[in-house]
Structure 1
Amino acid sequence: MKDKKEKQAPILVQMAIFAGILFISSIVSGLLPKQLPVPTSVIGMILLYVLLATHVIKLEWVESFSGILISMIGFLFVPSGISLAGNLDIMAQEGVKLILVIFVSTIVMLVVTTYVARAVLAGKKLLTEDGLNKLAKKAENNAYISSRKVTEN
């Protein structure tokens, strides 16, 4: 927890930040080729993450409005549910294919996540002091063995 409370931006300023990011995202989405249909909201999330990670935008500037949006997430999904209900004929025709695609993509996502997590943990372990010492010692041994082979020949 922080010792001093950072001053939050007014809600209208936070809304303006989100609106600006969404506007830029819609421009970027329009510039992408039609073969790469990336939703504006996904581009916006990536852009917001980059701006937060590079400290161009401080978390305090968007935190309150983000909380408001998260609290309304169920309401924000209502249009998706309504459009899904409007296309029940497609669900009836392609239901088995949809379920198969959802199942396979979930399995692929879980497997990829597992391997990425393992790689990150292995990299983290390697970057600890012990891991770096072992790596340096191994490199030293390899250099010694190579130099012996060169001198023997």
Structure 2
Amino acid sequence: MAANDKTPKTETAEEEQASPILIQMGIFAAILFVSSLISPLFPATFPVPTPVIGLVILYILLATHIVKLRNVEKFGDFMISLIAFLFVPSGIQLAANLDILKAEGVQIVIVALISTIVLLVVVAYTTAGFIWLRKNVFHRDVNVEE
């Protein structure tokens, strides 16, 4: 009698592995390429930056499960870890133009605060709207876990 007959076979759910980093970079590059093709289609009076379009495309792909989170998570985390480094050039530019900041600093700070508050409110209501749609129109669970 074989030893396999005595031990019960239990299937363990293996977690699906993340995609290799080059594939993750390719996904980001493809999304950025598509968004660079879409960006010029907007009118000159309403320019939309290519990275913003890319973020919307990535969100749609993740929300519809066309792209799984595990397929972009490692590279996304890496890019987020670099975000402070990416703000260095703008900080240097700000320091180079301190005379403008001195003359109109209060207005700049007020506009930045108001726009940040408006952005947070719009994002909060938009998210609440999408959750309501998913829950009431599509009758699906609102949990983000698969």
The TM-score normalised by the length of structure 1 is 0.65
Q: Which has the larger radius of gyration?
A: 1
* Alignment RMSD (CA, Å): 3.0
Partner of 2:36: 26
Residues 89/23 of structure 1: CA separation in 2 closer, same or farther (3 Å cut) = farther
**2:100 is aligned with 1:90:** yes
Distance 1:36 1:53, change over 3 A: same
Match of 2:86 in 1: 76
**Residue type matched to 1:101 in 2?**
V
Q: How far does residue 84 in structure 1 lie from its aligned partner after superposition?
A: 2.3
Taking only the aligned residue pairs, the percentage that are identical comes to: 52
CA positional deviation for 1:48? 0.3
Q: For residues 64 and 131 of structure 2, what CA distance do their matches in structure 1 show?
A: 24
Amino acid in structure 2 at the alignment position of 1:22: L
Gaps of 5+ in 2: 1-12, 138-146
Please name the residue that 1:11 is paired with.
21
Structure 1 residues 83 and 22: alpha-carbon distance in aligned structure 2, compared to 1, 3 A threshold:
farther
1:67 pairs with 2:83: no
Q: Which has the higher helix share?
A: 1
Gaps (5+ residues) in structure 1? 128-153
TM-score w.r.t. structure 2 length? 0.68
Deviation of 1:8 after TM superposition, in Å, equals 1.4
Q: Which amino acid aligns with 2:50?
A: T
The alignment covers a number of residue pairs equal to 125
Deviations 1:38-97 (A, max 9, x none): 221111111001011112211111111111111222112222222222332322222121
